Amino acid sequence: MGYITVKNTVIKAIYTSVPKQKVYTKDYEWVSVAERDLFAKTTGITERRVASESTTCSDLCLHAAKELLSDLKCRDEIEMIIFVSQSPDYFLPSTAVILQDKLGLSKNTLAFDINLGCSGYIYGLSVVGQFLQSGNIKKALLLCGDKSTISTNFQDKSTYPLFGDAGTATLLTYDDTVENWGIHLASDGSGKDSIIIEHGHSRHPYGSVSDEYIEYEPGVIRTKKHLALNGMEVFNFALKEVAPSIKQMLENFEINIDDIDYFVLHQANKLINESVRKKLKIPAEKVPYSIQDFGNTSSASIPLTICYSLKNEIESKQLRLLFAGFGVGFSWGSALLTTSSIRTKIIEHD
């Protein structure tokens, strides 16, 4: 896909809901203390937020959205809701439709799901922007997040200490006075096996697969219904595709790195993100992080990072930002936009 322009669209608020429970890397007793220290150093993760067994991703997004709608007093004006996640409530119906009802939105509200993970926020912004720029829809909610911890096994050191849970709500509105956005979206399905839950859906349905635990390597034990991740393949993908994608985005819109206030990257892990940053020669102070306190939160990571690390500036200043989401699929995308006075909040879900 080439580069696209989104017109007449502005972000007014970003709210994030995270579970109250904290889990610390130093307490992950499945591996040695030395391995825990190395993991924290390479990934940057010292703690994560983990949802209770009864809490779903949609519960976290609902919590964020309710507070946003209450604070901004715009419930009756929402005409569209999109839920971006790979941990929906059910195989069917759509989680977005369920959230429309729980939020008390009009029955005329357009609602649907997008099944994407790490790149999901960028894709979601693009889709909402296509609806808003015509002016037929004036206000929309983009709900992004995942409960990734439900898919990991304690005895799998490659995934269990990496992921955290979070849900976000972004309010977007029509505004014909704002600068256009630039967006680039891409995919490469040949990388599907690098981040995958192989069994449990239509290809290998429940009831036809084994619950057998398999030891793939020392410290990596899981069933085929758990999340499997090949860290080296993901690392190579990020360097091969993500860094050039960001560079091409800047070149296409004739913008220098110095012109961007912040590069908000999906919080994959610190080693990957720092490698991308150094390859592009982006100053460290222009790349904010949230992974150290929340882990990899999939499609929630970009809006969560904004709420956590950029709150004061994004609420008070006009900023030129570049977002980059990348991962499962493989799928990736970038968004270039100028923001002004975005209201943000992080709230704990008990």
Could you tell me the pLDDT band of residue 3, with boundaries at 50, 70 and 90?
confident
CA 315 to chain centre: 21
Specify the amino acid at residue 193: D
Nearby residues of 32 by Cβ (< 8 Å), 6 or more positions away:
none
Distances (CA, A) of 122 to 84, 93, 255, 303, 343: 10, 24, 19, 10, 19
The number of C-alpha atoms within 13 Å of 44 and in the hemisphere containing its C-beta is 17
The model carries a pTM of 0.96
Max intra-chain CA distance, the chain = 58
Please give the domain boundaries of the chain with CATH numbers for all domains.
1-350 (3.40.47.10)
Could you tell me the pLDDT band of residue 298, with boundaries at 50, 70 and 90?
very high
Active site residues: 118, 266, 296
User: How many angstroms separate the CA atoms of 40 and 25, rounded?
Assistant: 7
pLDDT tens per residue across span 303-328 = 999 999 999 999 999 999 999 999 99
DSSP state of 154: T
User: How many angstroms separate the CA atoms of 63 and 56, rounded?
Assistant: 11
Residue 1, pLDDT score: 57
pLDDT tens per residue across span 162-201 = 999 999 999 999 999 999 999 999 999 999 999 999 988 8
Residue 270, pLDDT score: 97
User: How many angstroms separate the CA atoms of 15 and 167, rounded?
Assistant: 9
pLDDT tens per residue across span 200-256 = 888 888 777 778 999 999 999 999 999 999 999 999 999 999 999 999 999 999 999
Q: Examine the pLDDT at 2 and tell me if it is beyond 80.
A: no
By CB atoms closer than 10 A (0-12, 13-18, 19+), residue 141 is buried
Mean pLDDT score, 82-91 = 96
Nearby residues of 70 by Cβ (< 8 Å), 6 or more positions away:
none
Residue 308, pLDDT score: 98
Strands (E) across 44-109 are located at 47-49, 80-84
Give helix 95-102 / helix 57-72 axis angle, nearest 10°. Answer: 40
User: How many angstroms separate the CA atoms of 336 and 125, rounded?
Assistant: 11
Spatial contact of 280 and 255, defined as CB atoms under 8 Å apart? no
User: How many angstroms separate the CA atoms of 167 and 61, rounded?
Assistant: 4
Mean pLDDT score, 154-158 = 98
Cβ neighbours, 10 Å, residue 163: 23
